[in-house]
Amino acid sequence: MPDTVQSHIALPVDVSAPRSRGADTARTLVRAGSLLAFVAVFVAFAVAAPGFLTAGNLANVVGQVAVIGVLALGMTLVVVGGGNDVVRGGIDLSVANTLGLCAAVYATVLGDGWGDGAALAATAVTGLLVGAVNAVSVVWLGILPLLATLAAMNICAGLELVLTHNTVVAASSPLLDVLAGEFPAGVPVLGEVLLGVAVLLAVVLHLTPAGLRLYAVGGHREAARAAGLPVAAFVAASYLGSGLCASVASVLSVALLSGSTTGSGDMLLAVVVTALLGVVFSRRLVATIPGTLLSALFIGLLINGFQLLNISSYWVNGVQGVLILLVVAATSMLRPHAR
């Protein structure tokens, strides 16, 4: 579905290069290949690791990737609105540290004796504020997204330390108890939240005019402006969305770890990988919400399978790295030569 919507938006590269049937076939192959890889990994673990293919384990994986998944979904919005070019296009390097700051705010507000409502509101406001700072610096001050969000990342990391003094702030509340629990269906609530956020964003991004316009803005900004779209508002909204996703993810992370912990910044690269890897699950090789969700699950399954097979976790990073390179090499071979 998302793909038919996007095919209306001609990317500049595609227009200039005559599209051959061969390239189309190759794209289909890559996409089928990535889905096949997904299935192959799945089957390999199912055969090799007893316990992998149990409903309980799979449900656990969905829960384990919830935090990174929600962050990556927010990042996807920014990538869609800013375009695929990593340096000049959209990227939000501040997501992981925004999560850290939001988690610290949530835990601190709870610790001061406020209820869940106030804590949630404070957390959402924090996430939106960071998003707003990013939006202002990227859209109105014209700073490269990579740099603007890098500065925001540092500021968030600092503010988190100021709030928590680099310690773990324990937190408990009725909401957190619910989030840390299991649904009757056996899927952790965290996983349900991830799926819920994904469905919500997928509807907005792939089924509404606003979503289509966001793709138009990211695909060719000048053309979108010429067509009369409020380009600035769309790009700004994508950063606000990313900030909000970070605050949602922060509550999940507090529920998972029973408090705010340090070192959330380490998640950044995993989030970037998840959001960028998702591209291969779409036919036109663009960022989509289902693609990001699939890639989050794929990475989660990979790590989980490694654990079940007792393979040292030291391999995980390397395998992720090789995976990015394989995927990107394959896709960049297929893109028209855009030097």
Partner 1 sequence: MRVKISSRYALVLALVAVFAFFSLTTTTFLTPGNLQSILVNNFALLAVVSMGMTLAIAAGGIDLSVGTAIDIASLIFVSAVAAHVAIPLALLGALAGGLLVGAFNAALIAWLRITPFLATLGTLFIGQSVQQLSTSGGQPIYLITGHVPPAFTFIGHGTVLGIPFALIVVAASAAVFVTILGRSLFGRRVEALGAQPGVAWYSGLRVSRDTAWVYVLSGLVCAVAGIVLSCTVRAYVPLSGNAYLLNAIGATFLGTTFSKVGRPNVPGTLLGVLLLNIVANGLLLIGWNFYWQQVGTGVLIFLVLVVSFGGRRQHSARAA
Site residues for partner 1 per CB under 8 A: 85-87, 137, 141-144, 146-148, 150-159, 161-162, 165-166, 222, 269, 272-273, 276, 312, 314-322, 324-325, 328-329, 332-333, 339
Question: C-beta of 116: minimal distance to partner 1 in Å?
Answer: 27
Mind spelling out the 3-state secondary structure of 25-93? Answer: HHHHHHHHHHHHHHHHHHHHHHHHCCCCCCHHHHHHHHHHCHHHHHHHHHHHHHHHHHCCCCCCCCCCC
Residue 188, classed as helix, strand or coil, is strand
Q: How far apart are CA 8 and CA 141, in angstroms?
A: 31
Compute the least distance from the CB of residue 86 to partner 1, in Å: 4
Eight-state DSSP code of residue 284: T
3-class SS of residue 94: coil
- Residue nearer to partner 1 on the CB measure, 175 or 217: 217
Query: In DSSP terms, which residues pair with 260 in a beta bridge?
Result: 169
Choice between 254 and 272, CB closer to partner 1 = 272
Tokens matching residue 332: 């960049």
Least distance in Å: CB of 186 to partner 1? 33
Please state, in angstroms and rounded to a whole number, the distance separating the CA atoms of residues 3 and 16: 20
- Smallest separation, CB 339 to partner 1 (Å): 4
**Comparison of 257 and 319: residue with beta carbon closer to partner 1:** 319
Which CB sits closer to partner 1, 164 or 253?
A: 164
CB of 335 to partner 1, least distance (A): 9
d(CA 302, CA 274) in angstroms, rounded, equals 13
* Three-state DSSP state, 170: strand
Cβ proximity to partner 1, 159 vs 212, nearer residue:
159
Which residue lies nearer to partner 1 by CB, 87 or 185? 87
Q: Nearest approach, Cβ of 301 to partner 1 (angstroms)?
A: 18
